[in-house]
Structure 1
């Protein structure tokens, strides 16, 4: 189950739920001894599982990311008809493809989605492309800064392993990808939403 949920300053608003079947892959997850952690306020949880991705999984995601990006950049329909009017980012995690960025025409976005879906390795394509003109340099610099700050917050937390969460930021909207427990997803979203300048947080997690 992948849940996309908007978080706005600790307020949770259901946005979209997408169900997919995730085949069990031997060695992808392991059970560890329960670890009880608690904050000074007395809030804690029990970490029952840890998940480490294999080198093959990383490689497959990188190859799919590059293939989709290359297809979008070289597509004659997009380049000839629309020119350099789009700004698209492709992010892949365990075959789940997240499309973010901006494009000014709906048919342009539809074509990009079709291209992403054309690869057999794409298990699910999630479209978060804004119907708008390309973001400016200041906006992208701000997004890069927010990504760095959110990552630092996740890595600094004693309640989850921030290394297994991927962070993508577009127009101050933060997307979180990874394989986590539901409790970890709540903590990660709460940490990301607490970073100054973040407009909203969207969870694109796969759950243990």
Structure 2
């Protein structure tokens, strides 16, 4: 085999591998999106829009030099509703965050839950993540509602407060709140649910 033939074969192999990888990514992405949509009451398009919205809000905030390593801001979007939670040092930065986020196209409602305090240390951040995990786990044990799917509820934790987002019925909202309040470490529960009347308005 000549050197030229070997190089041609190598080039063909690289192209084939690249195409196969691209196809696999499309298939895996499609399966993941389909699986997510099975559980989520939002459409796949809305799920994607919310993910993009979170990125846009983050970009709008961190375009300002005031939002640096001194702040910790959690950004979550659901059907255009955006939650800001965490710490923003002082009232001025809390207000700036609200102005920046509210000006992002696609934000239909903004919940500014930022605390005007210094950024939490790694210990509290870990505690928040663990608290979210415990609450999510507790929601899977709701048995009184036939067909209830805990993955339809987005749980966000910040400084001991649990924020609940998602499209739910009144009965589901009551059951989820009651269950979340029983989890050790939860100091406060804030509901940002989209109830039937919100979904039709």
Q: TM-score range by the shorter chain?
A: 0.7 to 0.9
| 1:138 matches 2:126 | no
**1:174-189 → structure 2 map (5 Å cutoff):** 174-189=162-177
Q: Tell me if the contact between 2:142 and 2:175 (Cα under 8 Å) persists in the aligned partners.
A: no
Instruction: Give the equivalent residue in structure 2 for 1:193.
Output: 181
Instruction: Give the equivalent residue in structure 1 for 2:160.
Output: 172
Measured in 1, the distance between the counterparts of 2:64 and 2:117 equals 20
Measured in 1, the distance between the counterparts of 2:93 and 2:173 equals 33
Q: Tell me if the contact between 2:169 and 2:195 (Cα under 8 Å) persists in the aligned partners.
A: yes
State the TM-score, normalizing by the size of structure 2: 0.73
Ranges of 4+ aligned residues in structure 1 off by more than 6 Å = none
Residues paired across the two proteins, number:
155
Q: Tell me if the contact between 1:102 and 1:135 (Cα under 8 Å) persists in the aligned partners.
A: yes
Structure with higher Rg: it is 2
How far residue 51 of structure 1 moved from its aligned partner, in angstroms, is 6.8
Measured in 2, the distance between the counterparts of 1:90 and 1:173 equals 15
RMSD between aligned residues: 1.5
**Contiguous gaps of at least 5 residues in structure 2:** 1-38, 197-201
Higher strand content, 1 or 2: 1
Q: Tell me if the contact between 1:51 and 1:180 (Cα under 8 Å) persists in the aligned partners.
A: no
Choose from 41, 46, 68 the match for 2:57.
Answer: 68
How far residue 102 of structure 1 moved from its aligned partner, in angstroms, is 0.6
**1:36-47 → structure 2 map (5 Å cutoff):** none
State the TM-score, normalizing by the size of structure 1: 0.71
Q: Tell me if the contact between 2:136 and 2:150 (Cα under 8 Å) persists in the aligned partners.
A: yes
More RCO (CA 8 Å, sep 6+): 1
**Contiguous gaps of at least 5 residues in structure 1:** 1-49
